[in-house]
Structure 1
Amino acid sequence: MSATRVQVVPNGPVLVSGPVRIEMPDGDVVESDRFMVAICTCRRSDDYPLCDTSHRRCRNVSAAPERLGDRIEREAR
């Protein structure tokens, strides 16, 4: 089995390799068996929590994905 890889894209989605199961706060479950899944971080996606590239329509997005990536990087050290 290959290792799961998670990549935080600045001003974009979180990319996860392999099939994923996303458990939402309200209890809903979203599953995808694609080889790469993009998880929305801007909440503009019509297919939330999966990314539909809506972040590209508005370039004035929060820096939250970058801060998340910085935190993950620090915790990994």
Structure 2
Amino acid sequence: MEGPVEVVDEAGNTHVSDRFVVALCTCRRSRSYPWCDTSHRRRVRGEDRPVPPAEDTEGPGRDDVP
């Protein structure tokens, strides 16, 4: 959304941002809710644990030698 932005949550609290561009959080994982802090990128939907980094299990091995 383009700012400044004023959001009223379900409890009636007003949140104001003077930034020129604002992203609203819809996953509710943000520490700065209702503003998005990209917390959704660090977790898989439906899971409570962080996503582990991908590992290269193949890598160079004996099969790579001509």
Give the TM-score of the pair, scaled to structure 2: 0.64
Aligned CA RMSD, in angstroms, stands at 1.2
What is the deviation of 1:25? 1.1
Task: Choose 1 or 2 for highest CA Rg.
Answer: 2
1:41 to 12, 26, 33: 26
Taking the aligned partners of 2:2 and 2:16, their CA distance within structure 1 comes to 13
Answering whether residue 37 of structure 2 is matched by residue 52 of structure 1, we say yes
Q: Matched residue of 1:56: which SS?
A: helix
Task: Give % identity.
Answer: 54
* Structure 2: tracts of 5 or more residues without a match: 47-66
Which range moves more in the overlay, 51-60 or 27-36? 51-60
* Structure 1: tracts of 5 or more residues without a match: 1-15, 62-77
More helix by share: 1
Quick one: which amino acid aligns to residue 53 of structure 1? T
Taking the aligned partners of 2:4 and 2:44, their CA distance within structure 1 comes to 29
Give the TM-score of the pair, scaled to structure 1: 0.55
Answering whether residue 2 of structure 2 is matched by residue 17 of structure 1, we say yes
More strand by share: 1
